[in-house]
Amino acid sequence: MSSIPHACSDRAASTAECFDVLFIGAGISGIGGAYHLRQQSPRRSFAILDEQDSFGGTWWTHRYPGIRSDSELYTFGYRFKPWVGAPIATAEEILKYLGEVVQENGLDRHIRYKHRVLSASWSTQDARWTVKGVRTDSQEPFIVHARFLWMGQGYYHHDKGYIPEWPGMADYRGTLIHPQQWPEDLDIGGKRVVLIGSGATAATVIPAIAGRCAHVTMLQRSPTYFKTGRNANELADMLRGLSIPEEWVHEIVRRKLLKEQQDVVDAAFSSPEELRERLLAGVLEHLGSQEMVDRHFTPRYLPWRQRIAFVPDGDLFKAMRSGDASVVTDEIERFEADGVRVKSGDLLKADIVVAATGLELAVMGGIAFTVDGRPVDFAQTVMYRGAMFTGVPNLLWVFGYFRASWTLRVDLLGDFFCRLLAHMDQQQATQVVPRLRPEDAGMQMLPWVEPSSFNPGYLTRVMDRMPRQGSQSPWQHTQDYWRDSEELPAASLNDGALVYGGGPRSAPRTIPSREAAAQDLA
């Protein structure tokens, strides 16, 4: 069977390399996608580009104290690679796991590090993408051609986090940092630290520095839900005690956890008050103070409208109970020379302020896309199964789950992608592009994510730049692993939503213009 379709030698006066598939990003998504391509379609050529010095994505770029997963590794890990450590893993352990996937499957020789992608241009005439960028070590430009792009670059800027503009920031004489840019030489010994934020990063950093600094205060505008539990899996330990093979342990524990996660998500919408009480009871067990729970750890929203962070062994609450850490629920009035003034009037003195205030989203990695010379505005597209875009050929984007592990979608889309490539071979097609069908004409257009379902600040700030979804399949971005796990493997590739073109024996067909795509959206 040929690759999609042949080498990029047609019309090529260019000496640039050309691959069947180009993976953008060598993190969880890029590594997982490359594994599936190599296993399911081994004759296709591919390369992986990443602007960092090594693989790992988030787990390579984030260096703040205590960095760990907030999903258990039996589902955050790949389905094909058993996880054998504690469920909640450190960045170092996750990088070791990813390194084994890279080495065991020969992916290392396909990765090009220090390659920052700046633009990607599709040509219908040539049925290929031209990807341009610059090497970060030498600033030399590079060009690579590819038949298909797998976008696994992540969803936020790795080189900066989101820090709001507060009054008086220029007056502050201490050190202000975002966790994404935690200095390696930062000395916290004997320092008073104020950490602004209450999400998973705060829950990670605070127990890691409590006791090492003079004191750390978590300053939050509003509380977050936390789930507590032991950093161990009793079922996995029992099965290992019976000498069950690790592949079986991984699969059995993975399925059990997925069922439990589904039950929790279902409860978040069917009986949210009951789930709220269960979560708060877990916090109370570690804090030992109902007043603390009521005042500082009872959110105003229902569970799972924002991500629930896992606190292994209740370490965040132990730090507070010991007195090494404390929490203040208030809003920032202004920064002053020696700390942060809150609206209640108190001054929180701080030598170091850590702004754990969220991510700075980058739509499609900030890469400039064009299709046949026309700039792509992703806000004017509709998503096909949450992974492809109307009017944009031969491109698949990986965005994981909010309420389940990111990697689950990588595995599902890896299967779907390879099935799509095989189908294109059968059709002798060189290109595929999603397009709304006549029967979709009256479909309601919705935001990329419904705010009533999930509404963290890092998403609401950029929703106007994100693609839209429809009110019916296959145009929905479900964010539902359990639904996707049934629908994606069975999805028809010939229902008219995917338009195929080109081929070795036919002239390329016309891909719908951006104007036509905009009319589809009207």
Digit-by-digit pLDDT tens for the chain (522 residues) are 333 434 455 444 457 899 999 999 999 999 999 999 999 999 999 999 999 999 999 999 999 999 999 889 999 999 999 999 999 999 999 999 999 999 999 999 999 999 999 999 999 999 999 999 999 999 999 999 999 999 999 888 888 889 999 999 999 999 999 999 999 999 999 999 999 999 899 999 999 999 999 999 999 999 999 999 999 999 999 999 999 999 999 999 999 999 999 999 899 999 999 999 999 999 999 999 999 999 999 999 889 888 888 999 999 999 999 999 999 999 999 999 999 999 999 999 999 999 999 888 888 888 999 999 999 999 999 999 999 999 999 999 999 888 889 999 999 999 999 999 999 999 999 999 999 999 999 899 998 887 777 666 667 777 788 899 999 999 999 889 999 999 999 999 999 999 999 865 333 333 333 333 343 333
The three-class DSSP label of residue 19 is: strand
Question: For residue 465, what pLDDT is reported?
Answer: 84
* Closest residue by Cα to residue 118 from 151, 138, 137, 142: 142
Tell me the HSE value of 175 on the side-chain side, using a 13 A CA sphere: 16
Boundaries of every domain in the chain:
17-158+362-521, 163-357
Alpha-carbon distance of 501 to 435, in angstroms, equals 13
Topology agreement, domain 17-158+362-521 and domain 163-357: yes
Question: For residue 306, what pLDDT is reported?
Answer: 80
Question: For residue 507, what pLDDT is reported?
Answer: 34
Alpha-carbon distance of 518 to 379, in angstroms, equals 10
* Closest residue by Cα to residue 115 from 131, 99, 101: 131
Contact yes or no for 104/354 (Cβ under 8 A) = no
Alpha-carbon distance of 292 to 452, in angstroms, equals 28
**56 C-beta neighbours (distance < 10 Å), count:** 22
Q: What is the DSSP string of 224-283?
A: --EEEE-SS-HHHHHHHHTT--HHHHHHHHHHHHHHHHHHHHHHHHHSHHHHHHHHHHHH
Question: For residue 455, what pLDDT is reported?
Answer: 62
Contact yes or no for 129/120 (Cβ under 8 A) = yes
Question: For residue 160, what pLDDT is reported?
Answer: 85
Judge: domain 163-357, CATH 3.50.50.60: yes
Alpha-carbon distance of 147 to 128, in angstroms, equals 5
Contact yes or no for 193/209 (Cβ under 8 A) = yes
b/e per residue 256-283 (b: at least 16 CB within 10 A):
ebbeebeebbebbeeeeeebbeebbebb
Contact yes or no for 326/194 (Cβ under 8 A) = no
Tell me the HSE value of 405 on the side-chain side, using a 13 A CA sphere: 27
- Region at 325 (left for phi over 0; alpha for psi -120 to 50; beta for the rest): beta
Q: Which CATH number does the domain 17-158+362-521 belong to among 3.90.380.10, 1.10.1240.10, 3.50.50.60, 3.40.190.10?
A: 3.50.50.60
Burial classification of residue 503, based on how many CB atoms lie within 10 Å of its CB (0-12 exposed, 13-18 middle, 19 or more buried) = middle
Pair type for strands 309-312 and 383-384: unpaired
